[in-house]
Amino acid sequence: MCAFLRRDVQSVWQQHELKDRLNTYQEIFKENKLPRYKLARLFYVSFQNDSNLEELLEIHEQTHPKFKEWINQKQSYTIQDLEKEVSIEHSLDEIQKLNFLRLKWIIFDKMIESCTFCENKCGVNRKSSQLGKCKIDDKAYVTSSFIHMGEEAPVSPSGTIFFYGCTMRCSFCQNWDISQEYDFNIIKGKRVRSTELASLYYTLLKQGARNINFVGGDPTPNMHVIIESLLHAQVNLPMLWNSNMFLSENSMKLISDIFDIWLPDIKYSNNECAKKYSKVSNYWDAISRNMSFIEQRGSGEYIIRHLVMPEHTKCCSIPILDWINENLKTPLTNIMGQYHPDYRILRGENPEINRRPSTLEMFDVRKHADDLGLYWKSVS
Ligand code: SF4
């Protein structure tokens, strides 16, 4: 019912450029195709749980191209037909123990002991309650979940789940109370187990969700529990990764082929601005690599978000649009103008960005997108 509150969530699909770019996503929420996580759960892989991390990663990388090909062949099957077909070679009980999704979860469960989920690569053992930059231990914590009608038209209404924690430390963060400055002792009451998350997906589906949207803060520190929840999930909904995309190369390899649609947030076009405002290193190297992974290894269906910041159109916004135009095949770009001073900016940090972007700055960025022929208006 809530879909009717915004007319554009229906009308946007009349635009061919958008329909072509998000075709599989749309087919999944119409239940004409299977979500990728369900395919990964039925893809048999032989591995030993007690193998070391490097061995398991190697098996994962050998399996990825076969799985990618298999998705192309089988995504239009019904789950019943697919189960029938895969059970010719291995029983469903056997596949339940040894499948591609389970392999991914086991790898994350080992990675967390010297955590490299994101590009910060803190190396802490989160299972021993050591905390890295994100300040999240080995559990997952949800702050809220609801049907979000304010996301981009093609992905609304969205079954959005906000997780605590973030892998970046932006001085202007507008979600700082859940991403950076929370009392870890208090949020422990918000812990969710993987089976509870799987039930939540079903609740959101019944409330009208077109997708399950993992966001935060940033969802990356909670990755292991999210992947484990997909081993239990039953919903035929696209899974949406809504993130700063500051994942490590291994994390990105592991999740690139199981999320159906992506909302990557590209803030800066260089490492220096990222270091100054978000306190991270190797930002652009990680983001440009991870964006390429979405296209080369994953669904290739995504809407990039770029928040235009004051004084950063020449060093960041314009080069980002140029990079998108030169490097990505099917970009949809949301050029966002809602930046406002918040959090540490209001306490005096980075005074040069203590204002909204001007009309002229927004105009320059949007005009540049038009000059390049980028597709942005209907998702902005
Ligand atoms: S998720 Fe990232 S920030 Fe958090 S402990 Fe792991 S490597 Fe560090």
pLDDT tens digit sequence for 276-305: 999 999 999 999 999 999 999 999 999 999
In angstroms, what CA-CA distances link 100 with 47, 82, 83, 125, 231?
A: 10, 15, 15, 25, 10
- How confident is the model at residue 4, as a pLDDT? 53
| Non-local CB neighbours of 19 within 8 Å, separated by 6+ positions | 13, 26
Binding pocket residue ranges, ligand 1, CB within 6 Å: 115-118, 120-122, 124, 132-134, 167, 220-221
Name the amino acid, one letter, at 293: F
CA torsion 11-368-169-225 (nearest 10°) is 40
* Residue with the two structure tokens 């260089």: 270
Strand order in the sheet with 261-264: 191-192, 140-148, 158-163, 212-215, 239-243, 261-264
Query: How many CB atoms within 10 Å of residue 64?
Result: 16
Pocket perturbation via mutation, ligand 1, pick of 130, 136, 180 by most ligand atoms within 8 A of CB: 136
Global pTM value = 0.97
Distance 375 CA to ligand 1 centre (A): 34
Q: What confidence category does residue 1 fall into, taking pLDDT thresholds of 50, 70 and 90?
A: very low
Burial group, residue 73, by CB count within 10 angstroms (0-12, 13-18, 19+): exposed
Atom index in ligand 1 nearest the CA of residue 221 equals 1
Average pLDDT for 26-49: 97
In this predicted structure, the answer to whether residue 246 has a pLDDT above a threshold of 80 is yes
Distance 247 CA to ligand 1 centre (A): 9
> Is residue 291 within 8 Å of residue 280, measured between CB atoms?
no
In this predicted structure, the answer to whether residue 131 has a pLDDT above a threshold of 70 is yes
Burial group, residue 87, by CB count within 10 angstroms (0-12, 13-18, 19+): middle
Peptide bond into 157 cis (omega under 30): yes
Average pLDDT for 170-187: 93
Atom index in ligand 1 nearest the CA of residue 126 equals 5
Residues 61-89: tens digit of each pLDDT: 999 999 999 999 999 999 999 999 999 99
CATH code of the domain made up of 2-379: 3.20.20.70
